[in-house]
Structure 1
Amino acid sequence: MFDTMTMTKIIGGFCGALLIFLMGGWAAETIYHSGGGGHGEAEQAYVIPVEDDGAAAEVVEEGPEFAELYAMASAADGEKLWRNCRSCHSNEAGKNGTGPYLHGVVDRAVGAVDGYNYSGALVAVAETWTPENLDAFLENPKGYAPGTAMGYSGMRSAEDRAALIAYLASLDG
């Protein structure tokens, strides 16, 4: 069915198509980036003058403080958010999962769960899991403790973090 000549034609066709593709990319790069060897080396043709009054143009509006959110947080709402955590953590004392158990985690020393091998990154950033430390960690675990083994990407809503921490605080009474 296939002989040597047919296979040679097929391979030659693929090589020719690849060559055309690469030459097209080179030509496009030459046409659209012809201002020199790299980006930003060419002088801008027209500069728009902008008045600067020295003040920052954009004012970032911050929400309420975490302490206020935590004081108003509902443990019942936090229990609903627990579903994100329970795939790796347990809320029963002494029962570790992929992560350490979270029963009594609020105001517990960091890295204090017996039988769980911590990565070491957490112990370097905090001594105890205060509500504020938990808030910062839950917002961005990799940013708060670089090198942590926790694979969770973070909880963006400050209200949700406060509710989850209130739920975790309610577990141990």
Structure 2
Amino acid sequence: MLDTMTFTKVVGGLCGSLLIFLLGKWAAESLYHVGGGHGEHAQAYVIETGEEDSGAAEEEVVDFGALLAAADLGDGEKVFGKCRACHKIDGTDATGPHLNGVVGRDIGASEGFAYSGALSEQADVWTPENLNAFLENPKGWAPGTTMGYAGLKKPEDRANLIAWLDSLDG
């Protein structure tokens, strides 16, 4: 049954397994240099190219007013397809508030919709510029907003959508 020799074999087997596991870990660390200190040394030779290394590519500054003036309403309606899952344009609220009349409307002014407080802290009115900033990165513009959409990255898409929403008012 269970005598001293059996107990000694079980403990020896566990210790042997642990030893093999630790040796395997040591071998893997030395093989893959985990924590080996790469990147701690200075570069030995630098080739001068005559250009200053800015570290980041310069972003192209886009004039949003010009994009809005040249916006395509048909493309804006297509972009609204991404918003249609949560927003309506018939005056009724869905998961998000209705968007008819949103351009120029006070922020948080849709009757009966429970807004998060984060929006009203950022601005008072949904101007095209405020809508552009919000649609680019909703959580970045209004931290704490309950809108779960990641945003529209292309400025042309944002301009087309805002122009189309503005055209709904007549």
Q: Distance in 2 between matches of 1:87 and 1:25?
A: 50
* Structure 2 partner of 1:12: none
* Structure 1 partner of 2:138: 141
Q: Distance in 2 between matches of 1:125 and 1:89?
A: 21
**TM-score after normalising by structure 1:** 0.74
* Structure 2 partner of 1:126: 123
> What amino acid is the match of 1:172?
D
Deviation at 1:172, TM superposition (A): 1.0
Q: Distance in 1 between matches of 2:102 and 2:88?
A: 11
> What amino acid is the match of 1:90?
K
RMSD over aligned Cα, in angstroms? 2.7
Q: Secondary structure at the match of 1:78?
A: helix
**TM-score after normalising by structure 2:** 0.76
Larger Rg: 2
1:170 counterpart = 2:167: yes
* Structure 1 partner of 2:157: 160
Q: Secondary structure at the match of 1:125?
A: coil
* Structure 2 partner of 1:29: 29
Deviation at 1:54, TM superposition (A): 5.9
Q: Distance in 1 between matches of 2:95 and 2:47?
A: 55
Deviation at 1:79, TM superposition (A): 0.8
Q: Distance in 1 between matches of 2:139 and 2:77?
A: 24
Q: Distance in 1 between matches of 2:110 and 2:130?
A: 17
Q: Structure 1, residues 114-170: CA drift from partner, whole Å, max 9, x if none? A: 100011111111111110111111111111111110011111111011000001001
Q: Distance in 1 between matches of 2:26 and 2:161?
A: 53
Kindly tell me the number of residue pairs found equivalent between the two proteins: 151
Where structure 1 has 5 or more consecutive residues not aligned to the other structure, the ranges are 1-15
* Structure 1 partner of 2:113: 116
Where structure 2 has 5 or more consecutive residues not aligned to the other structure, the ranges are 1-16
